Structure 1
Amino acid sequence: MLKIRAAAAALVCLGLVSGCASPAGGPGRDKEAGAATSTASARSGARSSTPAAPPDHEPVSYKPSWPDRTVRTERGHLVNACVPKDLRSKATTLTTSDKVHLSALVMGDGPEGVLLDHEQGYSICSFIDIGRQLAKRGYHVVIPEYRNHGASEKLAENKHIDRDARAGLAELQRVGAKRVFLGGASCGGTTAAVAGVDTPLRVVGLLMLSSPARCLGADGVAAVKKLSVPTLLAVSPGDMQGAAEKDAREVYAASVAHKKELAIQKGEWHGTSMIKRAGASGAALQDRVIQFVVDSYAAAH
């Protein structure tokens, strides 16, 4: 049996190769804040009475988007090979409302959720560093890999991506989260905002990194007019020759959040590349993002 499991873990799934590429990035740095420590400690005590999570989803057979970068976990779920081996046991398979199968990571536990949605053309690994840090602080983190990306299902068309964000929120609710912080980069941030408008979970905050005002049918401007929660927008002025900053300012102006911040990062980096590739300023942005999640939850109490 052990030999069979070992062989299964080494299988690479077959399918068509996507032309998208996931940019590499070094790990970000972590700054432990006193507020975060005390919040996590309090949350840890509250979690002792939290019911056990429901059983994981069963593995599903489907054609992954990037088969040359897809591996199978011991349980049989497909996951992007970029995911570190120590996290692959956290992989699961989500099914969207239109029956598309998504690879996803579920880290941490408890009633305080965080959704992290990656950029188009990037991968589930965009948010792994931040996801790890938030899980360590006691948050329940879900990172879905979008359709036509990585180990998620390959389709003929790339549309309805807001349904992928909704599947991530549904998973957080299924595993016991009661509230959620919405986070995403590029179109991931746009769809996170759109999906957050009608989620049954209580939304406590919103992060949008280089997120367009509108993306593949998802209208981020309309969404932020309905989300009054603390909102952090970050963008590099050189990204897309200034178009990304223009969109970020449009979203910022439309936002009805009582507390909203617009961070302009030097350079021309896009999405999580502002964190992974921008040296000291990127590390500072990662710290700011993590602290913003902590502060948003603190303000929601």
Structure 2
Amino acid sequence: MLKVRPAAAAAVLVCLGLVPGCASPADGSGHDSGSGAATSTAPVPSRARSGAPTAPPDHEPVSYKPSWPDTTVRTARGHRVNTCVPKDLRNKATTLTTSDGVRLSALVLGDGPDGVLLDHEQGYSICSFVDIGRQLAERGYHVVIPEYRNHGASEELAENEHIDRDARAGLAELRRVGAKRVLLAGASCGGTTAAVAGGDTPLRVVGLLMMSSPARCGPGVDGVAAVQKLSVPTLLVASPGDMQGNVAKEAREVYAASAAREKELVIRKGERHGTDMIKREGASGAALQDQVIKFVVDSYAAAR
């Protein structure tokens, strides 16, 4: 596993026209079942919650056409949620509305002022980050996981543009439910959109995690420009064989452009994409999940 640190920063590389976020889950279904998730063994202590304010009322359920109706159910409250979400977490589902009126299914886990936004890959589902989200919530963080437009239980549209607005809706929800700070995290285009949306959030950004994230994800979603504005601790992770090496090349471009003083680029073995590096790599995946959770904890510790 190659680790690149600021002292050995790579030169900015030219974008190779990578098709962003188009990798499919390893089961080939296009729907991420959430099975085979790595189990974290990180000895990270829980943080005590103290004086957490009463949560505001939930959003009212609304009617819309889900993207994957065969894997969508309604909660007792009437919100749509992906069946990949474990039954004990489905009551944490809500419905977000983006700035352009798109309805998104989302999970809101935990509570408190320290938030984490987890944005999944294109072609995957909300369950890419459910296991990590649950663990972070148990450690005292306020986690929002939106399911992107044209995915899972979120609204189906004729086009798939403006996905950065889905990340912004997740950040708006974190702020609405009481978060004051946020760590931005995502896989593939989820990481790119998290970085872009974090550039103008009123929340204080404390860190950035991008896993297999391309430099750009369509018009207006420029990860290179975004990281030039974010000086927070940054962790980039990619596999050298992912999309014939193009993902790792773009991760190096993002790394080189990053304004962060504390940044790390981890090039792992293999060719897994996004959260598959965690969920489908056994002990190696569990170690990466531990690293991700530790990165969140350390980023918040440094922000105090």
TM-score (norm 2): 0.89
Answer yes or no: is the 8 Å Cα contact 1:265–1:281 preserved in 2: no
Q: Which residue does the alignment assign to 1:68?
A: 70
Query: Of the candidates 236, 239, 261, which is equivalent to residue 239 of structure 2?
Result: 236
CA contact (8 A) 2:37 2:280 kept: no
Q: Report what 1:209 is aligned to.
A: 211
Matches of 1:216 and 1:282 in 2, distance apart? 29
Distance 1:87 1:109 in 2: 14
Contact 1:112 1:177 in 2 (8 A): yes
Map Cα deviations across residues 78-97 of structure 1 (whole Å, 9 max, x no partner).
Answer: 00010010000000000000
Cα deviation, residue 164, structure 1: 0.1
Q: Over residues 122-165 of structure 1, what are the superposed CA-to-partner deviations in whole Å (9 max), with x where a residue is unaligned?
A: 00000001001000000000000000000000000000000000
Alignment partners' CA distance in 2, 1:124 and 1:196: 20
User: Contact (CA 8 Å) 1:161, 1:216: kept in 2 or not?
Assistant: no
What does 1:15-164 correspond to in 2, within 5 Å?
Answer: 21-24=30-33, 25-33=35-43, 36-37=44-45, 40-41=47-48, 44=49, 47=50, 49-164=51-166
Query: Once superposed, what is the RMSD of the aligned Cα atoms?
Result: 1.2
Structure 1 CA distance, aligned partners of 2:121 and 2:29?
A: 11
Give 1:20 shift: 7.2
Q: Would the aligned equivalents of 2:38 and 2:283 in 1 still touch at CA under 8 Å?
A: no
Amino acid aligned to 1:289: V
Q: What do residues 74-118 of structure 1 show as CA deviations (whole Å, max 9, x unaligned)?
A: 000000010010000000000000000000000000000000000
Q: Which residue, 254, 265, 268 being the options, matches 2:268?
A: 265
Query: Counterparts of 2:194 and 2:149 in 1: how far apart (Å)?
Result: 15
Aligned to 1:6: none
Verify the 8 A CA contact 1:189 1:209 in the aligned structure 2.
Answer: yes
1:223 aligns with 2:232: no
1:214-266 CA distances to partner (integer Å, 9 max, x unpaired)?
00221000000000000000000000000000000000000010100111111
Tell me the CA shift for residue 281 of structure 1. Answer: 1.1
Alpha-carbon separation, structure 2, partners of 1:86 and 1:117: 21
| 8 Å CA contact 2:120, 2:186 repeated in 1 | yes
- What is the letter of the counterpart of residue 123 of structure 2? G
Mapped contact 1:20–1:121 kept (Cα < 8 A) = no
Contact 1:112-1:179 at 8 Å conserved across structures: yes
How far apart in 2 are the matches of 1:87 and 1:115?
Answer: 17
Quote the sequence identity (%): 78
Cα pair 1:22 1:123 within 8 Å, conserved: yes
How far apart are the structure 2 equivalents of 1:101 and 1:204?
A: 28
Query: Residue type of the partner of 2:170?
Result: G
**Larger proportion of helix:** 1
Q: Is the 8 A contact 1:205 1:296 kept in 2?
A: yes
Q: State whether structure 2 residue 194 is matched by structure 1 residue 192.
A: yes
Deviation at 1:50, TM superposition (A): 2.5
Equivalent residue letter for 2:176:
R
Shift of 1:37: 1.4
SS of 2:45's partner is helix
Following the alignment from structure 2 to structure 1, what is the Cα–Cα distance between the partners of residues 68 and 268? 31
Shift of 1:30: 1.8
Is contact 1:50–1:110 with CA below 8 Å preserved after alignment? yes
Q: Does 1:295 align with 2:298?
A: yes
Instruction: List alignment gaps of at least 5 residues for structure 2.
Output: 1-27
- Structure 2 Cα separation of the partners of residues 211 and 20 of structure 1: 21
Structure 1 residue runs without a partner (length 5+): 1-18
